[in-house]
């Protein structure tokens, strides 16, 4: 609330409704912050997830290339049916 003027306005508005219950305003502000953080985290693509997907894609491509050429190595794990 110190660094975000928009949140400070919301906090002051809620606090004005309940002058004896400032914690209600604090909890409301923290809930708003938690929701904003949740949506930001959902929108972000984690580097680890993209690396795992890239490795899986590369493994599938190698498998299908080996399957087409008929040179599937015994140490290569089978993917798919």
- 15-74 per-position pLDDT tens digit: 898 888 889 988 988 998 899 888 888 776 666 666 677 777 777 777 777 667 665 555
Yes or no: say if 15 and 1 are a contact pair by the CB < 8 Å rule. Answer: no
Residue holding tokens 């972000």? 44
Q: Give CA separation, 1 vs 9, 11, 30, in Å.
A: 9, 8, 9
What are the sequence ranges of the domains in the chain? 5-43, 47-81
What pTM does this model have? 0.49
């Amino acid at each position: 609330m110190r660094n975000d003027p928009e949140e400070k306005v919301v906090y002051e508005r809620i606090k004005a409704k309940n002058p004896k219950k400032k914690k209600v305003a604090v909890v409301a502000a923290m809930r708003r912050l938690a929701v904003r953080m949740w949506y930001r985290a959902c929108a972000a693509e984690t580097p680890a997830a993209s690396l795992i997907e890239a490795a899986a894609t590369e493994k599938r491509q190698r498998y299908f290339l080996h399957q087409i050429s008929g040179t599937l190595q015994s140490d290569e794990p089978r993917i798919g049916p």
